[in-house]
Amino acid sequence: MLRLSLTLLLINLSILSLPVLPEWTLLIAGLPLGMFLLSSKKLWLLGVLLVATVYFLESMDQAVQALIPAGLIGSTSWLSGRVQGLPSNTSAYAGFVFKLDEQIPGAPKTRLLKVHWYQPGLKISTGDRFDLHLQFQPVKAKINDGLGNYEDQLFFRGIQAVGIVRNFHFIENQCFWYQVDCHRAAIQTWITSVVADSNVLPLLLALAMGDSSQLTYQHRRILSATGTHHLFVVSGLHIGLFAWTCNRLFHYAGLVFHYRLLAAFACSLLFGALAGMGLSVQRALVMVGCYMLLLIFRRSADSHAGFSIALLMVLVLNPLATGDRGFWFSFCAVAILLLSQYGDVGWTGDKKLAGLMFTLKTQVCIFLGLAPLVLGTSGNLPMTSALVNLVAIPWLSLVVVPPLLMAVSVRVLAVTSEHQWIIGVADFLLQLCEAGAEILWFFLEISADTVPAFAFGRIELVISGLAWLAIVLFILPLRLSAHWLLLLSVLPLANLSPPRPQTGDLYLRVFDVGQGLSIHLQTQSQDLLYDTGSRSQSGMDSGQTVILPALRLLGVNKLDRLILSHRDSDHVGGAQTVLRELPVLAVIGADYGDCTPPIQFDADGVYFKVFQVMQTDNDNNSSCLLRIKGNNFDMLLTGDIEWVAEYELIQRSIGKVDLITVPHHGSSSSSSPALLNHLMPSQAIIASGYQNAFGHPSGIVVKRYQARHIDLLNTATSGSAVYRAGAEGVVLVAEALPLQTRFWQYPR
Give the pLDDT confidence of 44-93 residue by residue, as tens digits.
778 888 888 889 999 999 999 999 998 899 899 999 999 998 998 888 88
Side-chain-side CA neighbours of 303 within 13 Å: the count stands at: 13
pLDDT tens-digit series, residues 571-584: 999 999 999 989 99
Dist CA 297 CA 295 (whole Å): 5
Quick one: pLDDT at residue 494? 47
Rounded CA gap, 572 and 532, in Å?
5
Per-residue burial over 694-703, b if 16 or more Cβ lie within 10 Å, else e, is: eebbbeebbe
Rounded distance between C-alpha atoms, residue 321 and residue 331, angstroms: 11
Instruction: Provide, rounded to the nearest whole percent, the portion of the chain with pLDDT above 90.
Output: 42
Amino acid, res. 562: L
Q: Are strands 506-510 and 454-455 parallel, antiparallel or unpaired?
A: unpaired
* φ, ψ for residue 100, nearest 5 deg: -80, 145
pLDDT of residue 1: 74
Q: Please check whether residue 364 is in contact with residue 334, taking contact to mean a CB–CB distance below 8 angstroms.
A: no
The rounded distance, in Å, linking the Cα atoms of 27 and 38 is 16
By three-state DSSP, how is residue 112 classified? strand
- Positions of E strands within 303-366: none
- Which of 377, 374, 404, 400 is CA-nearest to residue 386? 374
DSSP 26: G
User: What integer pLDDT is reported at residue 455 of this predicted model?
Assistant: 57
Q: Are 581 and 548 in contact (CB under 8 A)?
A: yes
Query: Looking at residue 467, what is its pLDDT?
Result: 42
The CA angle 241-381-215, to the nearest 5 degrees, is 55
Task: Tell me what pLDDT residue 43 has.
Answer: 80
Phi, psi of 474 (to 5 degrees): -75, -40
Quick one: pLDDT at residue 483?
Answer: 45
Which regions in the chain score pLDDT beneath 70? Answer: 298-303, 339-365, 368-369, 371-373, 375-381, 415-419, 451-497, 538
Strands (E), 640-728: 659-661, 683-686, 711-714, 721-726
Q: What is the pLDDT of residue 450?
A: 78
pLDDT at 602: 95
pTM given for the model: 0.83
DSSP string spanning 39-103? T-TTTHHHHHHHHHHHHHHHHHHHHHHTSPPGGGTT-EEEEEEEEEEEEEE-SSEEEEEEEESSP
Q: Dihedral of CA 155/157/158/159: which sign?
A: negative
CA angle centred on 499, ends 493 and 503, rounded to 5°: 150
